[in-house]
Structure 1
Amino acid sequence: MEARRGGKLTLYRRAQYGFINSCLRSLVMERFGPETWDQLSSRAGVQDSFMTYTVYDDALTLRLVQEACSLLDVPADVLLKLFGAHFFDFCKQAGYDAMLRTLGGSLAEFIGNLDALHSYLALSYQEMNAPSFRVEAAHGGNMLLHYYSDRKGLHHIVPGIIEAVASEFFGTGVSLVVLNREEEDERTGKKEHVVFLVRQIEQVGEAGDRDRNQDRDQDRDQDRDQNQDRDQDRDQNQDRDRDQDRDQDRDQNQERDQCSQVGPSSFSPRYADQLWVEQRTFCQAFPFHIVFDENLKVRQAGVNIQRFVPGLRGREAKLSQFFTIIHPQVTFTIDSMRKFINSQFVLKSFRETPPTLKLRGQMLWMGSLGCMLYLCSPKLRSLQELRDAGLHLADLAQHDATRDLVLLNQQRLAEMELSNQLERKKEELKILSRHLEAEKEKTEALLYAMLPRHVANQLKDGRSVRAGDFDVCTVLFSDVVAFTSICAACEPIDIVRMLNLMYSKFDRLTSVHDIYKVETIGDAYMVVGGVPVPTDSHAHRVANFALGMRIAAKEVPNPVTGQPIQIRVGLHTGPVLAGVVGEKMPRYCLFGDTVNTASRMESHSVPDHIHLSGSTYRELKDAGFHMQERGEIEVKGKGLMTTYFLLGNLLVSEDGIMGKEAAETRLYGDGLRRQSSKEAVRPEPGHRDALSDKGAAPDPGCLDRTAPPHESSTSGRIGPSNEPRSSLCVLL
């Protein structure tokens, strides 16, 4: 909002303090729940909480209101009225209860002093742009409430506040009806002017009770009067000689009773016939007052304001030449000022150079003289402002409460600054706490990637983790065929991309089959089933994982040839010792001959094949896996071993192996479901060609001796559904 004066452009920023937004947040959370506020703040794109003394743009508040209306499916006028009633309670809870109760003895007095309250609050909230209120009497005991605001469309808040005040403070019900709504041109721009008709609602139940109470009071008064009359008669009969004295005493008592019964409704002040104050004395007693006529011509001024603004001493001086109205935001005319006669007026002096003077006080219209008396004092908030204005405490009248206000507010401002700093620190701590929690989750995720969850939790709690023996588990090793040649033929970054893509696919499969990834070294990948959590299906999980590895590897291109990479896989089942090794970089490691044998199965395998030891074969033979005997081979450090190739799983589809099937089916558990031959993971067509009846053709460097492979008697056999091992492998 902009206003021009004297060639200068003044910008008025429409903003509200965080107190208003906090009230709206409180309303939503109390009436509709914290979840609704989370949705609302997310949709409006605002923060979760607001700082009381921080200024927020009006657009943010209006956006919150609009989103709340949309989210709650409530009309704006209903929501704003609800906000008004809640705002009254919110102010009481914030410590303004006693202050609000002292504004007036009636609803009209309360409303008439709201502007004075806003003026006081402006000491703390310097950028507050509060609305203004004016009350007029109407027919039938009703009132006309005039509401002025720079903000359009928020007048629906007023009925909520006024109705809550009338009910809480004055025990009466009122209703507000909009009679007129228009825009008026004021000094600072257009101002919304809304006129409400305030009507009192008679509460039947309470009215009946009140009438009955009045009847009882009248009966009690009559009985008391009769008793008093009997007492007086008895006294007169007993003491007739003192009738005159008794009459005098009775007259005095009656006069005293009449004086004691005089209340605010019957009080009539007595005015002097003439003003017994000298002009000089008045100007010294009120050193900052100004009297001006309907043309704003200055007729009289206090001594100190004349010293500060010497131009006021001129005979033709006009008040508008030296001052402008800061509050209320009205035009500088008598008619506009009389509309806000119950408001505090703040005037600011025009000066080319600082210091400038701000005055705050009351306008009093003197109809017989056709003049306005502005009884005021300098508007000061602190000792610093007193010095900046070029004033001293001695310049203020002894009776002026501004002297005490400056000293008291100096301490209050210091407390407010401390409170504001505390609020900012609290908000910063909340943000840091959220960041810390996010970093903690990242750290835990990294720790859980390095160690099993239960082992990591023990280490976090400061407990030592003992190494444990596992009687049976299945270990898998894999590597990339011709990895050294690939590294020599391409850039290192290509190798990194290839391994990252491959390992990302493998890591996902470990979650699908719930096995533990031990480590990766270069192109080697190691997992284990049955460790650290023992399970009877360890071999089935690792076997299905191996089949998934082979499928996933076909989706990873060779950076040299562009063709899918090939991997070798080896499995072995047996006992291991597992424990945490290291302190700076702890790792969960496996030890034992089982690990060594599994590594030998991988190194003696052939490209694109899954090599099994005899112990793993025995775990899988009755579970529907399609396997082929390789025969006896010479294994380094082990001698002759009968080994097998895993070709597929006749019970689980390829999507099931890869974890792509619907979530209602489970890979490991009860409810075995048989799949058709089209769905099952069958051996690839090239397998029988690669393994002829005369023997396989593995890498000569890996095998010392290859026995002629042949299909085992259990190759591809599906065990009956009631066999223990067959129930361990089910469809995904």
Structure 2
Amino acid sequence: MLGYIHLVLKDLVICHQGQALWDKIALEHNLDDDFCSHAKSFKDEDTFLVIGVVARELNLSLADALEAYGEHFIVFVMNNGWDTILNCVADDVFNFLNTVTYLHTFMDTLTFKGSLEKPSFYCEINRDNSLKLHYYSHRNGLDTLVIGLVRKAVKELFNIDVLVTLNEHYADNTGFGKGLNHSIFRIETVERDKRLFLPSKMPNKFQISSDVEEYINVADFAKMCPTHICFNKNMIIEHCGLFLIEQLNIGSMPTKLSDIIEILSPRNTPLSFQGISGQLNSLFTVQLRKTIKRNKTVTDPSIANSKVVLKGKMMMISGGDYMLFLNSIEISTVKELTEKNIYLNDMALYDVKRDVVLLQQSRTCQQLLNSRLETTVQNLKKMTAELDSHRSKSSELLYDAIPPQIASVLKQGHKVEPCEYDNVSCLVCDIPYFAMITTQIGATEIMKLMNKLFKKYEKFIIKYECIKVVSFMDLFIITCGVPEPKINHASNICDLGMCLLWEVQKIKVPHINLPLLIRIGISTGHVVAGLIGTSHIRFSVIGETINVARTIATYSKPGKILISNTTKQSLSHTESDYNLENNGFIKTQTKKAVYTHFLISNEKKSLWQLVGRTDVDRTSNGYDLINDHAIASDWQEMETVIQRQENVIGTLRSSKNRKGFRVAAEKIRAIRLHLHNKLNNESLDSGISQNSESNQSSVCNIC
């Protein structure tokens, strides 16, 4: 059964005893959320087991529980959107009950593609104006459920109280209908003035003009209904439509119905007069057993083996002695017409399937057009996204060297004039041993090294609200206080400088294998800032303050920050307190003397707070790491070693006798021994390799 049945059962329990009882049942019997999933199928045994549990919990017999369930089912579906359609089914009880089977079939076809074993209802009128309801089902034991279902439906839809009693019940255990249960109910009104059906307004006889033939002959009917079949109680075909006559070669000889068709639905319906009579309110779908005549000469096997399917209604005629199957070919698309080699002309002119096929084709064409349009829209969206991405990248490249505030003004089409700023701090840094590094590593490695360095710079430039003005090889010029004035420009630029000293130590120079060192000069004062260039615009800052900062940087020591006295004065106006070390006067390019100080630390913030690290030992403020002279000493010693190597190589290149070569070899041996003692046996001799046994170079071994 479907999970929808369980959903109604759950609602029944909650309405009578509350959510707690259902939660208890679900917990004890391991019923998860899928158990009430309306479109999911479950075994009948599982459903009946839970119904039995609910009956015990509600102190009801199984029969009473099923009857209560039937009544609650009507209440549930009407409260969940089905009330309008149910009220539009029929205007009396008789016709409503005869339409219920069609509703089952429609829902099965729409949602489950005809896979359900659905029940069937057929209603007749008794002589005493009561109704005889035939109920056919593959499931046994649901008679009391039908009683509750019918009684509640009639009350809710027609406001009639009825008595529903079970008169007969038997099962067909033979033939195709084996296991099909047939129950017969009597339905009568409680109030005598209520009617279960409306009187028929059809006259007993039509008044036909004398000049019109009274009956339609078989030939005309065969043309009007090209796929109809009329058969008797012996299941012999009396007459059929023109399409079947031509395509199946049905002639004057008696033909059994079972020779030409098989029933697809209702499922398990026996191909007998009695079996079909029990499903008169159901839509029948049958398949021709034989291949139609026109397909026998087709070479395509998929068409040659295809079978025509007919769908329609079975009707008893001539007092129940004959059965008429009025139908149409089950085709809904042009593709199906092609696959089965069927033509629209094979269908009756009034057959709505013609309109369905054309409508479906129109819908298919519209869907194809919509699909192409959707693809075009998606491509346009993709192109727009790519265009936006390229525009964004172009904008980033165009305005990369411009502060965001000024770039925003330019994008709006406004002109930006140069401005003077009185309080701006400028930082200039370079790599003191850059020339030596370029002689020891290749161009590609230099580019990788500088790329790492620039990434370190940019992260902290953003953090401390500074602006990168120039970056050229190993030279960086950074300002704070332009284009937007900042009160803490001096402290921001000093904190930035200490962050840079720490971060660059993480970068190892290839081959030399020492941490990178920079030196920094900082000055504060008046500058002029503006845009330079037309096709490639740059933000430029000029003035004496920049020149002083560059000069100070050249006087700074490797791994140190040297600041001017004007910067010191600006720092005194901030909340931070800095530890400075006097350095004395230096001469600038304008031959003026500037008093300078080495920046040691920020007394109110640790180095870890400046760089934003929380995973370090807080017992140390970290400034000892950037004020360590050991790294600078290693670089000085390395500079000496490399200079000696270059001298030796120069001697080797210039020597023209054996004696000069031996002198050079002795110098190399001395250099290697010195490096071995100082640098822990690591070869830094620009390519002269160590010998694993004697730790002497191959050049020395030659001697």
TM-score by shorter chain over 0.5 = yes
2:453 to 478, 502, 505: 502
CA distance in 2, matches of 1:598, 1:87: 84
Tell whether 2:561 aligns with 1:610.
yes
- Report what 2:199 is aligned to: 266
Tell whether 2:453 aligns with 1:520.
no
- Report what 1:485 is aligned to: 436
- Report what 1:5 is aligned to: none
CA distance in 2, matches of 1:519, 1:74: 67
* 2:502/2:625 contact within 8 Å kept: no
CA pair 685-300 structure 1, distance change in 2 beyond 3 A: same
1:666-720 per-residue CA deviation (whole Å, 9 max, x = no partner) reads xxxxxxxxxx9953746866569999xxxx99x99xxxxxxxxxxxxxxxxxxxx
Secondary structure of the residue aligned to 1:589 is strand
* 1:306/1:313 contact within 8 Å kept: no
CA pair 588-630 structure 1, distance change in 2 beyond 3 A: same
CA pair 613-333 structure 1, distance change in 2 beyond 3 A: farther
- Report what 1:554 is aligned to: 505
Paired AA for residue 554 in structure 1: Q
Tell whether 2:601 aligns with 1:648.
yes
CA distance in 2, matches of 1:136, 1:628: 104
- Report what 1:457 is aligned to: 408
CA pair 262-369 structure 1, distance change in 2 beyond 3 A: closer
CA pair 292-266 structure 1, distance change in 2 beyond 3 A: closer
* 2:519/2:553 contact within 8 Å kept: yes
CA distance in 1, matches of 2:547, 2:376: 58
- Report what 1:253 is aligned to: none
Cα offset, 1:601, TM superposition: 2.3
- Report what 2:490 is aligned to: 539
Tell whether 2:253 aligns with 1:304.
no
Tell whether 2:563 aligns with 1:630.
no
* 2:608/2:622 contact within 8 Å kept: no
Paired AA for residue 597 in structure 2: Y
1:341-395 per-residue CA deviation (whole Å, 9 max, x = no partner) reads 5454444556455275443322346797687543112234466765775555544
Cα offset, 1:647, TM superposition: 1.3
Larger deviation, residues 680-689 vs 300-309? 680-689
Secondary structure of the residue aligned to 1:651 is coil
* 1:131/1:147 contact within 8 Å kept: no
Cα offset, 1:609, TM superposition: 0.8
* 1:320/1:332 contact within 8 Å kept: no
Secondary structure of the residue aligned to 1:454 is helix
Cα offset, 1:550, TM superposition: 0.6
- Report what 1:285 is aligned to: 224
1:296-352 per-residue CA deviation (whole Å, 9 max, x = no partner) reads 775643111222233798755655766674x67767856987786545444455645
Secondary structure of the residue aligned to 2:508 is coil
CA pair 128-494 structure 1, distance change in 2 beyond 3 A: farther
Provide structure 2 residue ranges, at least 5 long, that are not aligned to the other structure.
Answer: 1-30, 40-72, 124-129, 139-148, 161-179, 181-190, 207-213, 292-300, 641-703
- Report what 1:566 is aligned to: 517
Cα offset, 1:520, TM superposition: 2.7
CA distance in 1, matches of 2:604, 2:374: 63
CA pair 534-413 structure 1, distance change in 2 beyond 3 A: same
Tell whether 2:630 aligns with 1:679.
no
* 2:122/2:280 contact within 8 Å kept: no
How do 1:287-366 residues align onto structure 2 when only pairs under 5 Å count? 287-291=226-230, 300-310=239-249, 315=254, 319=258, 325=264, 341-347=280-286, 349=288, 351=291, 352=301, 354=303, 356=306, 357-364=308-315
CA distance in 1, matches of 2:88, 2:482: 74
Paired AA for residue 565 in structure 1: L
CA distance in 1, matches of 2:203, 2:344: 35
Cα offset, 1:518, TM superposition: 3.2
Cα offset, 1:134, TM superposition: 4.7
CA pair 401-312 structure 1, distance change in 2 beyond 3 A: farther
* 2:101/2:121 contact within 8 Å kept: no
Cα offset, 1:596, TM superposition: 2.8
Cα offset, 1:658, TM superposition: 0.5
Root-mean-square deviation over aligned CA pairs? 5.6
Cα offset, 1:488, TM superposition: 2.9
Paired AA for residue 558 in structure 2: P
CA distance in 2, matches of 1:466, 1:143: 95
2:546 to 565, 590, 595: 595
CA pair 405-689 structure 1, distance change in 2 beyond 3 A: closer
Larger deviation, residues 573-582 vs 425-434? 425-434
CA pair 270-143 structure 1, distance change in 2 beyond 3 A: closer
* 1:495/1:559 contact within 8 Å kept: no
Cα offset, 1:414, TM superposition: 3.9
* 2:302/2:339 contact within 8 Å kept: no
* 1:550/1:567 contact within 8 Å kept: yes
CA pair 503-105 structure 1, distance change in 2 beyond 3 A: farther
Secondary structure of the residue aligned to 1:608 is coil
CA pair 685-595 structure 1, distance change in 2 beyond 3 A: closer
* 2:99/2:281 contact within 8 Å kept: no
- Report what 2:57 is aligned to: none
CA pair 459-625 structure 1, distance change in 2 beyond 3 A: same
CA distance in 2, matches of 1:505, 1:535: 23
Paired AA for residue 241 in structure 2: G
Secondary structure of the residue aligned to 1:655 is helix
CA pair 387-528 structure 1, distance change in 2 beyond 3 A: same
Larger deviation, residues 597-606 vs 99-108? 99-108
- TM-score, normalised by the number of residues in structure 2: 0.56
- Report what 2:427 is aligned to: 476
CA distance in 2, matches of 1:282, 1:317: 20
CA pair 394-559 structure 1, distance change in 2 beyond 3 A: closer
Secondary structure of the residue aligned to 2:303 is coil
* 2:120/2:279 contact within 8 Å kept: no
Cα offset, 1:565, TM superposition: 0.9
Paired AA for residue 375 in structure 1: L
Cα offset, 1:529, TM superposition: 1.1
CA pair 537-146 structure 1, distance change in 2 beyond 3 A: farther
Cα offset, 1:404, TM superposition: 4.5
CA pair 365-560 structure 1, distance change in 2 beyond 3 A: farther
Secondary structure of the residue aligned to 1:397 is coil
Cα offset, 1:405, TM superposition: 4.4
CA pair 172-98 structure 1, distance change in 2 beyond 3 A: closer
CA pair 141-378 structure 1, distance change in 2 beyond 3 A: closer
CA distance in 2, matches of 1:145, 1:481: 100
Percent of paired sites with the same residue: 21
CA pair 287-79 structure 1, distance change in 2 beyond 3 A: closer
Paired AA for residue 631 in structure 1: G
CA pair 396-597 structure 1, distance change in 2 beyond 3 A: same
CA pair 304-546 structure 1, distance change in 2 beyond 3 A: same
Cα offset, 1:507, TM superposition: 2.1
CA pair 376-75 structure 1, distance change in 2 beyond 3 A: same
CA distance in 2, matches of 1:80, 1:584: 67
Tell whether 2:558 aligns with 1:619.
no
Paired AA for residue 654 in structure 1: L
- TM-score, normalised by the number of residues in structure 1: 0.54
CA pair 555-689 structure 1, distance change in 2 beyond 3 A: closer
Cα offset, 1:281, TM superposition: 3.6
CA pair 429-688 structure 1, distance change in 2 beyond 3 A: closer
Cα offset, 1:566, TM superposition: 0.7
Secondary structure of the residue aligned to 1:458 is helix
CA distance in 2, matches of 1:686, 1:627: 16
2:329 to 363, 374, 378: 378
